[in-house]
Structure 1
Amino acid sequence: MTGDEIARLARGTLLPSFPGPTAPGWLLDELERGLGGVTLFALTGNVPSPESLAALTAQMRKAGEAFVTIDEEGGDVTRLGGHATGSPYPGNAALGAVDDPELTRRVYRSMGAELAEVGVNLNFAPSVDVNTADDNPVIGTRSFGPDPELAARHAAAAVTGTQEAGVAACAKHFPGHGATVEDSHLGVPLVDADLDLLDRRELVPFRAAIEAGTRAVMTGHLNLPAITRGVPATLSPEAITGLLRERLGYRGVIVTDALDMEGASGAIGIPEASVRALIAGADLLCLGPNEHADTLRATLEAIAAAVRMGRLSPDRLAEAGERTRALKQWLAGHSPAVVDRAAGLEAARRAIRVTGSLPGWNGSPPLVVELEATGNIAVGPTPWGLNPWASDAVRADGAEGEVDRVLERATGRGLIVVLRDAHRHASQRALTNALLTARPDTVVVEMGLPVWRPGSAVYLATYGAAAANAQAAAELLGLTPAA
């Protein structure tokens, strides 16, 4: 195999990123030379509007046949217009709470249709992690739930719906990020599970996704000592080739989670992490949101050097090329579906769980207090809460004297406190309890996982903070859109 052939095969494995709403010259040149594709990110300005995104993907496709990938999970992790306004589709926790696989299929088919309309052909979703750790800092409402069989039902439905829209699904984060209490953006989370436990828990929804025909699987940067011996799964032949290929029989494309994450490249750098991921069996390498031309070139050089040194077989690159070609052929043979946003609102409405009797407001609008909650890196600064539906809303962070100020402002009218993952935020719990002591009629709305709840309060659990979840809660609470 010649050097040019190796370079083209290596280029075909890479998914760099770029800033802004138009493709830079270097990217168009690389696409003409066989670049695998790109990963789009809202925070880098790739998605200012659906119309802009459609123009961008059309521009790139003129340069070369490529994968246009994105993280569009619905719910809290959204990159289309929902990144600015909140998603019209609830996330997986809400879909799991409803537990209607056909509705999950409809929601994902509609999301896929919206992606196809703007030229995205590979969606890094669904997340099929079984969220068994309440303190999981990065999965949470992105999971269908803590029950492997429930997660499996909805993993299959999500894959089917996405691919009915002509967009390739990507089940993630293999072998499962749900039992961790660390974020792989910041380190290498530990999954303390032997093969027997993995078979009974983490791998159940991945098997279902594979049986449903998922065209891609994404690896997670996870340490499974019983399997990977301290190496992140993304860089482990035992995880990718041994577990995913051989044990689960998966034959489709394997994509890495972003290699700029600390869990993959913190100690070795992105070019070396890329080489190790290819050796382990990955086919496409997501480089990360800030990894542009320089990282691309350094990675290409590292891959070529690994081939020359005998570390990486040219046959491994050719194998990856065959899988990505097969996926492109599949994409060419599918037509998009029809957008069905009503499915999102239906799911959000059906997901809400209410404890106690909802009060009336006696003609005076209630004060809505949204308690500060930090999001994780995957979610980003997506808006959340009931503010768009409240004529009077404030944010609170538990500062000294805040309880008294809130109570004074709420004098003579109802009070609604909005939480997000209160089980992970002591300040939310303390402020809520203080307000309930003074105002037992306070209504509490939890827009994350309903793990913690106060002993005596009217309580709503939405199982997510998307715009659809907020609208469904606002309807039940009798709120009207803010002027």
Structure 2
Amino acid sequence: MGLDPGLRRLALGTLLAAYPGPVPPDWAVELVADGLAGHTLFGTNIHRPEQVAAATAALRGGRSDVLVAIDEEGGDVTRLAHATGSPYPGNAALGAIGDVALTRRVYHAIGTELAALGITVNLAPTVDVNSTDDNPVIGTRSFGADPVQVAAHSAAATTGLQAAGVAACAKHFPGHGATIADSHHELPTVDVPPELLRQRDLPPFAAVIAAGTKAVMTAHIRVPALTGDGPATFSRAVLTDLLRDRYGFDGVVVTDALEMRGATLAAGGVAPGAVRALAAGADLLCIGAKVDADLVETVVAEIVAALADGRLDRARVEQAAGRVAALAAWTRTDRPDATAPDGLGYAAARRAVRVEGILAGLEGPLVVQLHAHSTIAEGRVPWGLGPHLDGTEEIRVVATEADPEALRRRAGTRPIVLVGRHLHRLPGGPELAAALAATHPVAVVEMGWPAAWRPAGVRAFVTTFGASHANGQAAAEALGLTAHPGFTR
């Protein structure tokens, strides 16, 4: 016996699915016609702008107010530019510049590009306060470590996106910035009293709520004082008592991907996780990136079963679907006819570059880029100085496998530019920097989160606050390794 059509449609109205490849398969469009809230686009769905526009048009063929979401943060997390790197610096660079008007312009430009492609929801900005240098999943996705600064830029980013007609989704509530674990792989714990959260992690969320953000995304983190043994995504104390009642948020609560280990470890799977999230107060359930029709139907069946056995109250699911429908209605309003300004992101990235030490005497170097693993959030996006070098030799090595003497011989009389991400915690990175600086003039280019670590003996330390295409161009220009009219060293 099949599911009740009304209950199936109700459950579908709370789900954000995904599909493989550049063309939406029939099942993806059919589910939209049946009531599915929408789909999230990932790098595998993105080939070129005209193809993306055709894909979103196909989804709207299923239903005109379908939600089409994407993680387009700029900086290190980009889907539109996953093949080349983003033309915009990310949040850490914008925070370092400290110009909230610029942050608004950058996010308005990102929103303008998304709107032109038919994308209606941006799963951004990241408003976490990165209070831990060794945070493995936030880092340069954060506007900084100061709650006041992060709050100001978060509000500006939200305003910029939504002025372009794209709904913002601030993440990850109640704050993922103090973790030293990645919730894609495990359930991180932030064992702090609620008062510290209110002082350190929650001000940016208050700011984006005041700015009118349409959505807030949950964090798969455990805060024992609030969530007990489970993640915030499944906590009524966090989603309802704190976010709704204390902070007055009346928009859509979106879960982080329910396929992530931080959620599945606690719930025992995506489908039971969906039920727990709805019961806690979530409205729109992001299933994840690896989704097919069978998985969607499994989640729907679990929600319908939970309505029957009392785990879920129908009024709660109707409330969730109603909020999602209101968001969909907002996305159908007329969008401003605008064009993203050329070069905005590159100009911004130049302003973010910080140089400690002296760049003189570093002409004609050997560029050595150190391999760094990417997080699941970032994906395998190209980064570094390579695309921007004007005839300068570059080699790429793994720090723990690199032979300093071989690199010295390769460099000869040339100075060395050592390029890395999160060098302070990269195995073998600090040791290699010190070994090379003992015999050669060395400049270190840090394209990850800038910790307090500085290698002894280097001629210069260059910080970009991110590894986007724009950040790489700005660093190459600062070092005089590529020509750019108007750039002054």
TM-score using structure 2 length: 0.95
How far apart are the structure 2 equivalents of 1:299 and 1:122? 22
Aligned to 1:134: 133
Aligned-partner Cα distance in 2 for 1:289–1:192: 29
SS at match of 2:472: helix
Of residues 454, 474, 477, the one that matches 1:475 is 477
- Shift, 1:412, TM fit: 2.4
SS of equivalent to 1:58: helix
Tell me how far 1:341 sits from its aligned partner: 4.1
Q: Structure 1 residue 342: deviation in Å?
A: 2.5
Letter of the 1:396 partner, please give it: V
- CA drift of 1:323 comes to 1.0
Shift of 1:358: 1.1
Indicate yes or no: 2:413 matched with 1:412: yes
Instruction: Report if aligned partners of 1:88, 1:341 keep a CA contact under 8 Å in 2.
Output: no
Name the SS of the counterpart of 1:340 in structure 2.
Answer: coil
Match of 1:109? 108
Partner of 1:393: 394
Residue 217 of structure 2 aligns to a residue whose secondary structure is strand
2:296 aligns to what?
296
Q: Pairwise mapping of residues 180-259 of structure 1 onto structure 2 (< 5 A)? A: 180-259=179-258
Q: Is the 8 A contact 1:217 1:255 kept in 2?
A: yes
Partner of 2:67: 67
The answer to which of 332-341 and 294-303 deviates more is 332-341
Between the aligned partners of 1:450 and 1:174, the Cα distance in structure 2 is 24
Deviation at 1:343, TM superposition (A): 2.3
Residue in 2 that maps onto 1:354? 355
Aligned to 2:431: 430
Residue by residue over 1:317-367, the C-alpha shift from the partner in whole angstroms, topping out at 9 and shown as x without a partner, is 1111221122122222241432124321122111111111212556xx321
Rounded Cα–Cα distance in structure 1 between residues aligned with 2:334 and 2:433: 50
Q: Which residue does the alignment assign to 2:455?
A: 454
Partner of 1:465: 467
| CA pair 444-19 structure 1, distance change in 2 beyond 3 A | same
Residues 74, 88 of structure 2: 8 Å contact kept: yes
Partner SS, residue 45 of structure 2: coil
Question: What corresponds to 1:340 in structure 2?
Answer: 341
Unaligned regions of 5+ residues in structure 1, if any?
Answer: none
Mapping 1:262-301, distance limit 5 Å: 262-267=261-266, 268-301=268-301
Tell me how many residue pairs correspond in the alignment.
Answer: 474
The CA deviation at 1:386 is 0.5
Q: Structure 1 stretch 99-108 or stretch 332-341: which is displaced more?
A: 332-341
CA distance in 2, matches of 1:446, 1:310: 53
In 2, distance between residues paired with 1:17 and 1:330?
Answer: 21
- Identity of matched residues, %: 52
Question: Any conservation in 2 of the 1:88–1:345 contact (CA below 8 Å)?
Answer: yes
The one-letter amino acid paired with 1:410 is: A
Q: Which residue matches 2:326?
A: 326
Q: Which residues of 2 match residues 38-49 of structure 1 at below 5 A? A: 38-42=39-43, 45-49=44-48
- Distance in 1 (CA, whole Å) between partners of 2:160 and 2:13 is 27
| Cα distance in structure 1, aligned partners of 2:251 and 2:425 | 37
Shift of 1:5: 2.2
User: What SS class does the counterpart of residue 416 from structure 1 fall into?
Assistant: strand
Letter in 1 for 2:223: L
Cα deviation for residue 398 of structure 1 reads 3.0
2:36 maps to amino acid = L
> Partner amino acid for 1:473?
A
Q: In the aligned structure 1, how far is the partner of 2:31 from the partner of 2:466?
A: 39
Cα distance in structure 2, aligned partners of 1:199 and 1:334: 37
Distance in 2, matches of 1:346 and 1:59, equals: 36
Report how far residue 447 of structure 1 moved. 0.6
Deviates more, 1:398-407 or 1:278-287: 398-407
1:4 to partner: Cα distance? 2.5
CA distance in structure 1 between the aligned counterparts of 2:141 and 2:409, rounded to whole angstroms:
37
CA 1:152–1:399: 2 relative to 1, 3 Å: closer
Deviations 1:257-278 (A, max 9, x none): 0000011113511000001101
Deviates more, 1:466-475 or 1:421-430: 421-430
Aligned to 2:487: none
Distance in 2 between residues matched to 1:302 and 1:183, nearest whole Å: 27
Deviation by residue 1:380-403 (Cα, 9 ceiling, x = unmatched): 111110011222100111355621
Amino acid at match of 1:470: G
Partner residue, 2:168 = 169
Q: Give me the whole-angstrom Cα distance separating, in 1, the residues matched to 2:204 and 2:362.
A: 44
Question: 2 CA distance for matches of 1:307 and 1:76?
Answer: 40
CA distance, structure 1, for counterparts of residue 49 and residue 401 of structure 2: 43
Cα deviation, residue 6, structure 1: 1.9
Aligned to 1:375: 374
Aligned residue in 1 for 2:77 = 77
1:154 paired residue number? 153
Partner of 2:144: 145
Distance in 2, matches of 1:141 and 1:328, equals 31
Cα 1:283–1:356 change in 2 (3 A) is same
AA in 2 matched with 1:70: I
Inter-partner Cα distance in structure 2 for 1:334 and 1:434: 59
Looking at structure 2, the residues matched to 437 and 455 of structure 1 have their Cα atoms a distance apart, in angstroms, of 9
Structure 1 counterpart of 2:75, one-letter code = G
1:20 maps to which residue? 21
Which stretch of structure 1 is more off in the superposition, 327-336 or 133-142? 327-336
**Paired AA for residue 180 in structure 1:** T
Q: Distance in 1 between matches of 2:480 and 2:153?
A: 31
Q: What is the one-letter code of the residue matched to 2:442? A: T
Secondary structure, counterpart of 1:463 in structure 2: coil
| Secondary structure of 1:426's aligned partner | coil
Residue 272 of structure 1 aligns with an amino acid whose one-letter code is P
